[in-house]
Amino acid sequence: MNENNLNVVYQQYFSKKEADQTFEELEREIEYFPSEMRLQLLCSIKDIQSQGKNTLDGQDKIGSHRDNETDMDPNSSIVTFSFGAERTMIFKRPNFNSVKIPLKKW
C-alpha cells in the first residue's frame, strides 16, 4: 500500500504453528512492564531490536506514540507482530489522512 507518501507492506511472517509456538514462548519468557525490555527471542529473529508491549484482549490497545527519536534512521522500518487477537495498526501524520491496517489473527 502506498498512501499519503506512506509505504506500507503487510505480510504474514509466521505460519500458524510458528505463531502459536512463538506466542507460548513469549508468554513464558516476557516479564511485562520492566523499565527496559529486551526480548531474546525477538532479537534472534533477524536481529530485530524491539520494544515489547502486551495487550490483554481485542479491546485493549497501546496509545499513540511517535517514532521520532533523534538517533533513529528516517528510512528505518516499523515492524509489528501480533500474536493472538486481531489488532489494527493506525498510522497518523500531520496533514494526512490516517491509514488503518488490520493485523489479522489466525
The 10 Å Cβ neighbour count of residue 71 is 4
The continuous run of DSSP H or E covering 42 comes out as helix 40-44
Q: Are 43 and 58 within 8 A, CB to CB?
A: no
Q: Is 65 annotated as a binding residue?
A: yes
Annotated binding site for 2-oxoglutarate: 65
Annotated binding site: 65
